[in-house]
Structure 1
Amino acid sequence: MQKIAVLTSGGDAPGMNAAVRAVVRRGISYGMEVYGIYHGYEGLMQGQITLMDAGSVGDIIQRGGTILHSSRSEEFKTDAGQQKGIAELRRKGIEGLVVIGGDGSFRGAQKLSDKGFSTIGIPGTIDNDISGTEMTLGFDTAVNTVLEAIDKIRDTATSHERIFVVEVMGRHCGDIALWAGLSGGAESILIPEVNVEINDVTHRLLEGNKRGKKHSIIIVAEGVCPASEIAQRIKEEAGLDTRVTVLGHVQRGGSPSAFDRMLGSRLGAKAVDLLREGQSGKMVGIQRNRITEVDFADVFTIENDIDLDMYELSKTLSI
C-alpha cells in the first residue's frame, strides 16, 4: 500500500490531533504518501484531500480539537454518497483510509470496507461509549476538565453552604459523570444506565444535613434529564438552596492529557500497521494497556456496559 488517507468525523475530541500526527508520520516512515481529508465525510465527497508531510503535523500533539476539522454528513449515509467518496479516493490513487470518530463515523467506515475499500477506525469520542475498547480518545481529558470544574464549584458551594447540580455530557453513556463524580467526591451521581428516583437524592441530602453537612455536589449526565429539573425538585422537596451549572461544550476542548496524547499516538500507528498488512473493517482500541483490534461488526453488536462496581463505590464513599 503506497497511499493512505486520514479523516476525523463527528464530534471532536482531545487527542484527535495526536492520532492524525501518528498516522501521517507512521505512514511516511514506511515510505507511503499520506493525505489529510478535511471536514470529514462531507469533505471526502467534495474532494477536499491534501497531501501531508511530516511538517504539516508538527506542533499539533498538544492541541485540542482537530486540524482536519469535522462535520456530519447525511449524504454520506446513502449508497450514492459512499460511492462518491470512494471515487474521490481512487481518483487520488489512495488505497486505504483511517477514520477517527465515534459510532456514526464507524458505520460509515464499515460501509466503505463492505464496498471493498480498506478502512480502519480509531475511537475518538469523549463519551467513552464505543464497545471493544476500555478507553476512547478524548475521554480522559474530558473527565479531567469536568473534575477541575467540580473542584472549583465545591469551593463556592462550601462558602455559601449550597447544593450544586452539575450537568455533564453523556446522552446514552454515563462514564463522564461516573468517573468525574467519583474522582470529585460528588454526593450523588445520576447516569442513564441506572434508574434513580429524585426522592433518593433528596433523602441523602437531608440525611447529610442532619450530620451537619451544609453543601453537596450532584453530577447528572445530560441523558438523564436537564440539571434544572433536578435542582427544582430538590428545592421543592427538601427546601435546600440549589444552584445549577451546565458545563456544555467546554468538555470537548482543551489540550489533551498525557494519556490521550499517548493513546492517540499508539492507535494512529497501529491503524497504519493494519492497513499496511492489508486488513480492513476493524477498529483499533486498548485493553489492559495493550493495543488491540476489533471487527466493526463486534463493535456494533457487543453492548458497552458501564462499570456498576464503580457506581456502587461512589455511593459508599459519598455518605
Structure 2
Amino acid sequence: MKKIAILSSSRVSAGMNTIIYHLLKSCYNNHIESYGILDGFNGLMTNQIIKLEYQNYLSIMNQGGTILHTGDPRDFINQEYLEQVINHYYQNQFDCLFVIGGHGSYNIARKLINKGIHCIVIPCTLDNDYSVGYSSALDTLVNMLDKLYDTSSSHQKCTIIKIEGCSNNKLIKDVCSSMDALYVDNHSLSHPQKLLNKLQVCYDTSNNAMILLSSNFNQGEQLKNFIESKTQFEVRYNDITFLYRGGMPNAYDRILARNYAYKAIELYNHQQTNQYLKLKNNKVIAVNII
C-alpha cells in the first residue's frame, strides 16, 4: 500500500488543520496510508511519528492551529540533522513527504529533494497572499486594528502595534492606508523627523495616531520612548503578532486548503512529486522545486 507522511513546519497559521483534514480524507478515498510527523522536521529527526486515521480526525476540519504541532525549520541548516531526517524517512518506508509551511520549510524540502526524498510543499504562511492562512489572519488583524483604533481615538493617544507578515507585503500596507495608519520598518527610521512630521499631521487631523511596525522591526519600546521624548503625545505599545495566527480559518482559506490538499494527492497519485503548489489566475498549479 502507498504510504505518505505529513508535517507542519514554520510558524502556525489558520488553516493548517484544514489542510491536514483534506489530505487525510483524500488518502482515505485513494487507499493511501497516512502518517503524521510531530513538531515539524524535528519530529522526523527524532522519529516522532503517529498513524493518522481519517475517521479519528473529523473534528479538525475547521479547527485552528495544527494537531501535529510545528517546529522551526532553521534548525536544519545543520547537515547532521538533515541526515537523521533522511534516515528516518527511509526507515519508515515513506513514499512522499507532504510539507505544510512557508519559505523556510520550502528550503528544507528542497535540500531533502536533492538527497533523493520525494516532497510536495503546500504553502501555509502569513508571508504571501496566495498561502493558506493569510486571508484569515488579515481578517483578524483588521478586526483588532478597528478595536484598537476606537480606543486610541477615544483617548487621543498614539498607538504602536507590531504585526507579522512579510515586510514588503502590499496588502498589509494597503490596510494601513485605508485606516490612515503609518507603516514603519527599519528603513523608516533612517529619517526620524519625517516620521515625527507624519505623526503631527495625524494628530492635527484626528487627535490620535496609529503606527504599525513590520515583523522585522524589534525596537517597539525604544520607538515608543523616542516619540514620547520628542513630542507631547502619550504612546502605547502593543505586540499582537501571535493573536492572529490562531483561530478558525475563514471561508476563503477553508476552500483554498481543500483545493491545495486535493491537488497535492492528485500529484502524488500521478507520481509528480518534488513540487510546490501556488495560485495562478485563481487556479492551483504545481511548480517544480528543482
TM-score when normalising by structure 1: 0.81
For 1:47 and 1:272, how far apart are their aligned partners in 2? 23
Letter in 1 for 2:147: K
1: distance between equivalents of 2:272 and 2:161? 43
Contact 1:118 1:275 in 2 (8 A): no
User: Secondary structure, in 3 states, of the residue corresponding to 2:256?
Assistant: helix
Q: What SS class does the counterpart of residue 213 from structure 2 fall into?
A: strand
Indicate the SS of the match to 1:270: helix
Residue 216 of structure 1 corresponds to 209
Kindly report which structure 2 residues correspond to 1:68-83, keeping only aligned pairs within 5 A, or say none: 68-72=68-72, 76-83=76-83
Structure 2 residues without counterparts, runs of 5 or longer = none
Trace 1:117-136 onto structure 2 (pairs within 5 A). 117-128=117-128, 134-136=129-131
Aligned to 2:20: 20
User: Hey, what's the Cα distance between the residues in 2 that align with 1:139 and 1:229?
Assistant: 29
Distance 1:170 1:226, change over 3 A: farther
Tell me which amino acid in the other structure corresponds to 1:198.
P
Q: 167-176 vs 65-74, which deviates more?
A: 167-176
Is it true that 1:226 corresponds to 2:216 in the alignment? no
Residues 1:202 and 2:196 aligned together: yes
1:107 aligned residue? 107
Residues 14-36 of structure 1: CA deviation (Å, up to 9, x unaligned):
11111111111112211211111
In 2, the alpha carbon distance for the partners of 1:223 and 1:53 equals 40
Which residue of 2 is the match for residue 245 of structure 1?
A: 238
CA distance in 2, matches of 1:74, 1:216: 37
Q: Report the number of matched residues.
A: 290
| Structure 2 partner of 1:147 | 142
Q: RMSD over aligned Cα, in angstroms?
A: 2.5
Cα distance in 2 for residues equivalent to 1:23 and 1:296: 20
Maintained 8 Å contact 1:119/1:275:
no
Deviation at 1:69, TM superposition (A): 1.0
Cα distance in 2 for partners of 1:82, 1:70 equals 17
Task: Quote how far apart the aligned CAs of 1:79 are.
Answer: 4.1
Percent identical pairs in the alignment equals 26
1:62 to partner: Cα distance = 1.7
Q: Which runs of 5+ in 1 are unaligned?
A: 129-133, 298-319
How is 1:1-319 mapped onto 2 (pairs within 5 angstroms)? 2-72=2-72, 76-128=76-128, 134-170=129-165, 172-174=167-169, 177-183=172-178, 185-191=179-185, 197-211=191-205, 213-297=206-290
- 1:147-182 superposed Cα distances (whole Å, 9 cap, x missing partner): 122111111112111121111124755557425424
Q: Name whichever of 63-72 and 77-86 sits farther off.
A: 77-86
1:81 to partner: Cα distance: 3.3
| Letter aligned with residue 43 of structure 1 | G
Q: Deviations over 1:27-49 (max 9, x none)?
A: 22112111111121121122222
